[in-house]
C-alpha cells in the first residue's frame, strides 16, 4: 500500500463495464449471445482519438494494468512500472486501454459469471475462447470507444499473440504492433507444460468437474501445482540461482560443497539454515514456489486457467494460410496505405518463448515485406523479464512510442 | 549531408525497398526515407545505435552480419547497402554474395588500403598504417579484412559480379578528376554499385 500515490503513477483508477448484446460467434462455432468486458483506461483520449494504445494481457493478467484501485491496495496494476505519466507507455501522451479478456476471472464474462440460461455459474460450460475471439471482442470494444485506429497494440507473451492477431485480422486498425516475448505458435514442449498444469487442476478432488463454485470450494492444490509448474517456466536457471542464492554458502557448507565463484551457491539457500532429512520444504526455492502457487490459487479461477492455457495451445494463425504465416501478414495491403509497423522484443534467458521464437516472427514479417524492428534484450529473469523494469527494454519502448506519437499525433494526419 | 550518401542516394530508386547492413544510427536510411520514400530495414548490433534508429523511426533489426543473412529471402530487396563495414566482417566474399542474392543491386563502400598514404606509411615506417581516419592498432582493430580497389575489382571479376558504377573519394568524401584517373592510388574510400552479372 502506498502512503502517497507516486507522481508517475496512473493514480486511482476505476474499472468500467461495457455490455455487448450483439452475439459473438467464436472460432469453435459456439456463440456468446451477450457478454461484459471490464476495462480500465489511463491518460486522456485526444479529440481525434488517434492517441489510444491497447494493452493485451497475458495468461494470468487482467484489466488492472496500472495505478491503484484504492489506497488500501497492496500493489499497483500488473504493468505499473511501464504505464503512467513519464513511463515507457506514457499516459501524458497516450490514452491507454486495458481490458480483461473473455473467459477471464477479473470481471469480464467468464466461467465465474452466472450463465443467464441456467442461473448458475458457467464453470466448465464456458466455451473455449481463442486469441482470435479475444481480438474480435477487443475490436468491438474499440468500435464502442470510437477508436478507429490504435496508435499501438502492445502485449507480452500471450498478449503478444493477440498483437499479432490484431495485425492479421484488423490490419487497418493499428498504426504499430509491439509483441514482446511471444511466439508464432506454441511448441510441443510449451503444450506439454500446459497439459501438466491442466491435469493437476482437473485431477484435484475439489475440482468437481469444474463445478466447484456451487460447492463453495476450489481446487486449491491443483491450481497451486499448476502455478508452481508454470512459474518455473517463467524463470531462468541463472535467474533462480541468483534469486535463491543470496544468503551465501549455508547449504553448500552443510553439504560439503563450496559455493560457486559468483557466490550465488547455485540458488541452494536453505529455508531454515539446515537440512530436515524429511520431505518437507528444505530450500528457499521450494518455499517460494509454494507461496506463489497458493497465493495465486486464492486469486485466480481454475476454469479460467484451463481456458487461458487452451487459448495458448490453439494459437497458430498460419492454419488459415496453409502453414505459411508470412501470407497472413502479406494479404491485407492496400495501395497508398502504409501498413502497421512492428516492434518485436525478446529476452536472452527466456526459455519459454526464447529469442529464436521471436526471430521466427521477425523473419515471417521480413518475408511478408513488412516494416519490423527487433531487439534481443540481455536479461537474467527468463520469460518474466517482459513484466520487469529492465533499462534497455524500457528505453526501447519509450523511444519507439515517442516516435509513434510523433507519427500519429504530431505529424498527423496525412495519408500515412 | 555526407557526400558519400549523396552519391549513394543517386543509385536508389524512389519507393524501393532498401536493406542497410550495419546501419549505424540510421542516418542513411532516414535520409533515403525522406528523399526517396523507401521502405527501410537496417541491421545493427550496437544497442546505442539501435536506439537512435528507433528514435528516428528507422526500422532496425538486432542481427550480427557474421552470423549470416540466411533469414532473408532471395531478391526480397531492391538495394542492399554496406557502408564502411566490409573490412570488419569475417567472410567479406560470402557477405557480398549474400547481398547479391538478397538485393537486385548492391552498394558497397570500403576504405581503400591501396591509397598512397597507406602505401607510404607501410613502406617508410614498416608498420601497419594508423591514421585519424583509421585510428586502430593492428591488434585491436575491428577492420580485419582490408582490401584495395584492385582487390575488389578482382573479386568482382572472379565471381562474375557486374560493376554498374565505381567511384572513389577522399576521407572528406570529396572526389576529383585525378582520383578518377588513379583510383587505387588516390582514392581513400571506394564506392561500388554492383549487381549479379
Q: What is the 3-state secondary structure (H, E, C) of A32-67?
A: ECCEEEEEEEECCCCCCCCCEEEEECCCCCCCCCCC
Q: Cβ distance B184 to B114 under 8 Å?
A: yes
Q: Which residues of A touch B103 (CB under 8 A)?
A: none
How far is Cα of residue A257 from the mean position of the Cα atoms in its chain? Answer: 39
The Cα A163–Cα A179 span in angstroms is 6
The Cα A176–Cα A160 span in angstroms is 13
Q: Which residues of A touch B54 (CB under 8 A)?
A: 343, 373, 396, 399-400, 403
The reply to whether A157 belongs to the active site is: yes
Q: Which residues of A touch B57 (CB under 8 A)?
A: 403, 406-407
Give the mean pLDDT of B22-41: 94
Contact A373 B61 (CB under 8 A): yes
Give the mean pLDDT of B125-139: 90
Give the mean pLDDT of A41-50: 97
Q: Cβ distance B112 to B86 under 8 Å?
A: no
Give the mean pLDDT of B50-59: 98
Confidence tier at A383 by pLDDT (50, 70, 90): very high
Catalytic position from the list A9, A108, A137, A157? A157
Q: Is the pLDDT of residue B144 over 80?
A: yes
Contact B62 A400 (CB under 8 A): no
pLDDT computed for residue B19 by the predictor? 98
Closest-CA residue of chain B to A406: B57
Phi and psi for A203 in degrees, rounded to 5? -90, 0
Q: Which residues of A touch B61 (CB under 8 A)?
A: 362, 366, 372-374
Q: Among A180, A164, A154, which Cα is nearest to A325's?
A: A164
Closest-CA residue of chain B to A326: B73
pLDDT computed for residue A317 by the predictor? 98
Catalytic position from the list A64, A81, A383, A405? A383
Q: Which residues of B touch A376 (CB under 8 A)?
A: 62
Contact A373 B39 (CB under 8 A): no
Confidence tier at A416 by pLDDT (50, 70, 90): very low
Q: Which residues of A touch B33 (CB under 8 A)?
A: none
Nearest-CA distance B72 → chain A (Å) = 7
pLDDT computed for residue B1 by the predictor? 59
Q: Cβ distance A281 to A290 under 8 Å?
A: yes
Contact A374 B63 (CB under 8 A): yes
Give the mean pLDDT of A110-135: 97
Q: Cβ distance A367 to A375 under 8 Å?
A: no
Q: Is the pLDDT of residue A74 over 80?
A: yes
Q: What are the CA-CA distances from residue A367 to residues B22, B55, B71, B112 (Å)?
A: 20, 24, 9, 35
Phi and psi for A68 in degrees, rounded to 5? -125, 145
The Cα B74–Cα A64 span in angstroms is 46
Helix or strand holding residue A99 (H, E): strand A95-99
Give the mean pLDDT of A139-143: 98
Closest-CA residue of chain B to A397: B54
Q: Cβ distance A291 to A211 under 8 Å?
A: no
The reply to whether A350 belongs to the active site is: yes
Q: Which residues of chain B have a Cβ shorter than 8 Å from any chain A Cβ? A: 17, 39-41, 47, 50-51, 53-57, 59-63, 71-73, 76
Contact B62 A374 (CB under 8 A): yes
pLDDT computed for residue A247 by the predictor? 62
- What is the grid cell recorded at B182? 588513379
Confidence tier at B176 by pLDDT (50, 70, 90): confident
Catalytic position from the list A269, A350, A380, A384? A350
Whether omega for the bond prior to residue A87 falls within 30 degrees of 0, making it cis, is: no
**pLDDT per position as a tens digit, A315-370:** 999 999 999 999 999 855 666 778 999 999 999 999 999 999 999 999 999 999 99
Q: Is the pLDDT of residue B68 over 60?
A: yes
Neighbours of B11 (CB within 10 A): 15
- What is the grid cell recorded at A345? 522484443
Contact A369 B60 (CB under 8 A): no
The Cα B169–Cα B41 span in angstroms is 26
Confidence tier at A109 by pLDDT (50, 70, 90): very high
Contact B54 A396 (CB under 8 A): yes
The Cα A16–Cα A63 span in angstroms is 10
Maximum distance among all Cα pairs of chain B, rounded to whole angstroms: 50
Confidence tier at B7 by pLDDT (50, 70, 90): confident
Contact B59 A400 (CB under 8 A): no
> Percentage of chain A surpassing pLDDT 90?
88
The Cα B165–Cα A191 span in angstroms is 54
**pLDDT per position as a tens digit, B72-129:** 999 999 999 999 999 999 999 999 999 999 999 999 999 999 999 999 999 999 999 9
Of A242-251, A298-307, B162-171, highest mean pLDDT = A298-307
In three-state form (DSSP H/G/I as H, E/B as E, the rest C), the secondary structure along chain B is CCHHHHHHHCCCCCCCEEEEECCCCCHHHHHHHHHHCCEEEEEECCHHHHHHHHHHCCCEEECCHHHCCCCCCCCCEEEEEEECCHHHCCCHHHHHHHHHHHEEEEEEEEEECCCHHHHHHHHHHCCCCCCCCCCCCCCCCCCCCCECHHHHHHHHHHCCEEEEEEEEECCCCCCCHHHHHCHHHHCCEEEEEEEEC
Closest-CA residue of chain A to B57: A403
Give the mean pLDDT of A195-207: 98
Contact A374 B57 (CB under 8 A): no
Q: A361: which DSSP letter?
A: H
Q: Is the pLDDT of residue B172 over 90?
A: no
Q: Among A306, A39, A318, A52, which Cα is nearest to A161's?
A: A318
The Cα A402–Cα A411 span in angstroms is 12
Nearest-CA distance B77 → chain A (Å) = 9
**pLDDT per position as a tens digit, A237-275:** 999 999 998 764 444 344 444 444 455 689 999 999 899
Amino acid at each position: 500500500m502506498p502512503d502517497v500515490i507516486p507522481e508517475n503513477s496512473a493514480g486511482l483508477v476505476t474499472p468500467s463495464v461495457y455490455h455487448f448484446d450483439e452475439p459473438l460467434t467464436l472460432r469453435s462455432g459456439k456463440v456468446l449471445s451477450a457478454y461484459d468486458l471490464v476495462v480500465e483506461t489511463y491518460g486522456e483520449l485526444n479529440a481525434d482519438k488517434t492517441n489510444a494504445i491497447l494493452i493485451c494481457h497475458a495468461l494470468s493478467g487482467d484489466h488492472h494494468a496500472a495505478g491503484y484501485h484504492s489506497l488500501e491496495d497492496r500493489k499497483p496494476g500488473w504493468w505499473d512500472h511501464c504505464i503512467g505519466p513519464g513511463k515507457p507507455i506514457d499516459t501524458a501522451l497516450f490514452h491507454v486501454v486495458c481490458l480483461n479478456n473473455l473467459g477471464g476471472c477479473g470481471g469480464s464474462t467468464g466461467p465465474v459469471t452466472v450463465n443467464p440460461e441456467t442461473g448458475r455459474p458457467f464453470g466448465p460450460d464456458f466455451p473455449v475462447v481463442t486469441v482470435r475471439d479475444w481480438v474480435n471482442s477487443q475490436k468491438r470494444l474499440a468500435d464502442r470507444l470510437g477508436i478507429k485506429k490504435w496508435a499501438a497494440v502492445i502485449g507480452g507473451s500471450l498478449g503478444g499473440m493477440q498483437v499479432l492477431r490484431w495485425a492479421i485480422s484488423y490490419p487497418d486498425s493499428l498504426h504499430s504492433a509491439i509483441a514482446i516475448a511471444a511466439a508464432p505458435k506454441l511448441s510441443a514442449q510449451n503444450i506439454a507444460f500446459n497439459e501438466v498444469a491442466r491435469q493437476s487442476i482437473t485431477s484435484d478432488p475439489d475440482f468437481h468437474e469444474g463445478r466447484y463454485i456451487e460447492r463453495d470450494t476450489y481446487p486449491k492444490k491443483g491450481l497451486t501445482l499448476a502455478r508452481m509448474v508454470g512459474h518455473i517456466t517463467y524463470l531462468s536457471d541463472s535467474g533462480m540461482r541468483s534469486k535463491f542464492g543470496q544468503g551465501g554458502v549455508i547449504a553448500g557448507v552443510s553439504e560439503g560443497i563450496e559455493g560457486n565463484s559468483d557466490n550465488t551457491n547455485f540458488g541452494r539457500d536453505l529455508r531454515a539454515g539446515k537440512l530436515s532429512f524429511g520431505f518437507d520444504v528444505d530450500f528457499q526455492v521450494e518455499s517460494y514456489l509454494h507461496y506463489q502457487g497458493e497465493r495465486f490459487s486464492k486469486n485466480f479461477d481454475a476454469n479460467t486457467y484451463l481456458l487461458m492455457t487452451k487459448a495458448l495451445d490453439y494459437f497458430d494463425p498460419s492454419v488459415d494460410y496453409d502453414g505459411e504465416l508470412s501470407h497472413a501478414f502479406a494479404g491485407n495491403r492496400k495501395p497508398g496505405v502504409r501498413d502497421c509497423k512492428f516492434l518485436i522484443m525478446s529476452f536472452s534467458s527466456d526459455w519459454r518463448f526464447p529469442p529464436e521464437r521471436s526471430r521466427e516472427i521477425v523473419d515471417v514479417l521480413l518475408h511478408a515485406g513488412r516494416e519490423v524492428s527487433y531487439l534481443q534484450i540481455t536479461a537474467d529473469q527468463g520469460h518474466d523479464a517482459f513484466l520487469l523494469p529492465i533499462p534497455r527494454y524500457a528505453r526501447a519502448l519509450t523511444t519507439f512510442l515517442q516516435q509513434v506519437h510523433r507519427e500519429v499525433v504530431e505529424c498527423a494526419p496525412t495519408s500515412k | 549531408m555526407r557526400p558519400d550518401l549523396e552519391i549513394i542516394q543517386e543509385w536508389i530508386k524512389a519507393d524501393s525497398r532498401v536493406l542497410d547492413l550495419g546501419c549505424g544510427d540510421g542516418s542513411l536510411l532516414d535520409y533515403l526515407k525522406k528523399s526517396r520514400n523507401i521502405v527501410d530495414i537496417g541491421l545493427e548490433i550496437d544497442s546505442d545505435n539501435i536506439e537512435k534508429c528507433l528514435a528516428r523511426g528507422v526500422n532496425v533489426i538486432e542481427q550480427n552480419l557474421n552470423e549470416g543473412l540466411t533469414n532473408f529471402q532471395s531478391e526480397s530487396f531492391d538495394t542492399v547497402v554496406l557502408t564502411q563495414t566490409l573490412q570488419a566482417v569475417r567472410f567479406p566474399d560470402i557477405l557480398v554474395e549474400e547481398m547479391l542474392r538478397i538485393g537486385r543491386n548492391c552498394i558497397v563502400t570500403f576504405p581503400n588500403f591501396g591509397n598512397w598514404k597507406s602505401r607510404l606509411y607501410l613502406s617508410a615506417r614498416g608498420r601497419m598504417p594508423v591514421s585519424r581516419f583509421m585510428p586502430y592498432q593492428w591488434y585491436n582493430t575491428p577492420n580485419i579484412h582490408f582490401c584495395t580497389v584492385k582487390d575488389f575489382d578482382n573479386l568482382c571479376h572472379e565471381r562474375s559480379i557486374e560493376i554498374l558504377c565505381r567511384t572513389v573519394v577522399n576521407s572528406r568524401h570529396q572526389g576529383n578528376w585525378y582520383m578518377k584517373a588513379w583510383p587505387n592510388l588516390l582514392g581513400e574510400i571506394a564506392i561500388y554499385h554492383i549487381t549479379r552479372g
